[in-house]
Structure 1
Amino acid sequence: MKQAFFLNRFLMLLLSSMCLFSSCKNSGPEPEPEDEKEVITTVRIQLVPEGKGQNAAATWKDLDGPDGQGPLVENLVLKANTTYRGTLTILNESNPNAPIDLTAEIRAEGYNHDVFYIVDGASLSIQKTDLDRNNRAIGLETTAATTSPSTGTLRVVLKHQPGLKSGSSNIDTGETDIDITFPVFIQD
């Protein structure tokens, strides 16, 4: 009887162990974590004239997001017949006590990002000057040139193009991270 008792216990232990080990089987590779979309609340364009002249800047800010109040948008006022070096800064200021500068991350992952500049009405042309690791333009740094006095708009679109950015990718390629418009005034 003792022998049957121990045999039953042994079989129970063996079956329990088999169940435990079979439930720990790897069911396949772990899924890749999704690339989480960053919260962007603030975009600042800063332009420094080459040579003499006054710096120019404009900020787009939407701290409460697309479902809240409309964004605060400053005018971009430029001098006619001037060439500027431009810098785009992208921030998450949803927590005003701990703002996050996303610009460095976008630059580091430039092979997955592209900034597009669309000018409408203003005598302004913009050329991207920074490159990603594949020698493709990013658009966080630019050269901007004005000619005659005029008014119009500057649309800035940041596209997230993981695995899609190529020499032929365009504003329709990938997901839109930001799509904002600044009023532009070019003066004598």
Structure 2
Amino acid sequence: MNKITFKKSLFSGIRQTALLTTTALVLFACSNDDDDNPMPVEEEETITTMSITLAPEGGGEAITFQSRDLDGDGPNAPEITVSNLDANTSYTGSIELLNETESPAERITPEIQEEDEDHQFFFAPTGSLTGSSYADSDGNQNPIGLIFKLNTGAAGDGSLTVTLRHLPKKPNDGTLADAGGETDIAQTFTVIVE
């Protein structure tokens, strides 16, 4: 082998080794340790139905508000059912959430209870619905809203908007603007107080 051939062969070998080393470094540098332990993806809950049971604190028959939207984001509006409320009364409310696209219907409420630190209901009463307050809390003593209080004033009209937020900031000032997060479900119920 002459000197020129030997130098070309040596140079070619060095070049190949450098190329292989560079490729290995790039692959190693670009590898993601998280690929071995991917973060679990939390599926968003499908909520078709919100039922609110309101029991008068002084005794009497409980009533129900319900929003049922079986086609989700489809063209049909939710079916809303409400009953009249009594004037100057305090109610204890409880919320039940369902996914009725499943058969049998899937209860979402236990998921909310299990992930209570990641969820919060927000209440916006207007008109003759004079106020609301929380009656339950998560492990950090922040409100959830699966159980709540609702007060009525004088006879008239009013509305109650109920919004469930996923991953809100906790604690917050009780408003959607401060809480952030994503809305899982929101519904306004128009009510007559008599």
Question: What's the TM-score bracket when you normalise by the shorter of the two chains?
Answer: 0.7 to 0.9
Query: Residue 36 of structure 1 corresponds to which residue in structure 2?
Result: 43
RMSD: 2.0
Equivalent AA in structure 1 for residue 95 of structure 2: L
Query: Residue 96 of structure 2 corresponds to which residue in structure 1?
Result: 89
Secondary structure of 1:77's aligned partner: coil
Matched, 1:75 2:82: yes
Task: Tell me if structure 1 keeps the 8 A contact 2:129–2:159.
Answer: no
Q: Distance in 2 between matches of 1:133 and 1:52?
A: 30
Q: Distance in 2 between matches of 1:126 and 1:114?
A: 14
Task: Tell me if structure 2 keeps the 8 A contact 1:113–1:165.
Answer: no
Query: Residue 138 of structure 1 corresponds to which residue in structure 2?
Result: 144
Runs of 5+ in structure 2 lacking a partner? Answer: 1-30
Q: Deviations over 1:59-91 (max 9, x none)?
A: 100011112311101124211111111101111
Q: CA deviation at 1:182?
A: 0.7
Query: Residue 185 of structure 2 corresponds to which residue in structure 1?
Result: 178
- Larger relative contact order (Cα-Cα within 8 Å, sequence gap ≥ 6): 1
Q: Distance in 1 between matches of 2:172 and 2:161?
A: 21
How many equivalent residue pairs? Answer: 162
TM-score with structure 1 setting the length: 0.79
Higher CA-based Rg: 2
Query: Residue 170 of structure 2 corresponds to which residue in structure 1?
Result: 165
Query: Residue 9 of structure 1 corresponds to which residue in structure 2?
Result: none
Match of 1:111 among 96, 117, 141: 117
Query: Which structure: greater helix fraction?
Result: 2
Equivalent AA in structure 2 for residue 91 of structure 1: L
Runs of 5+ in structure 1 lacking a partner? Answer: 1-25
Q: CA deviation at 1:27?
A: 4.5
Matched, 1:99 2:105: yes
Q: Distance in 1 between matches of 2:144 and 2:107?
A: 17
Secondary structure of 1:34's aligned partner: coil
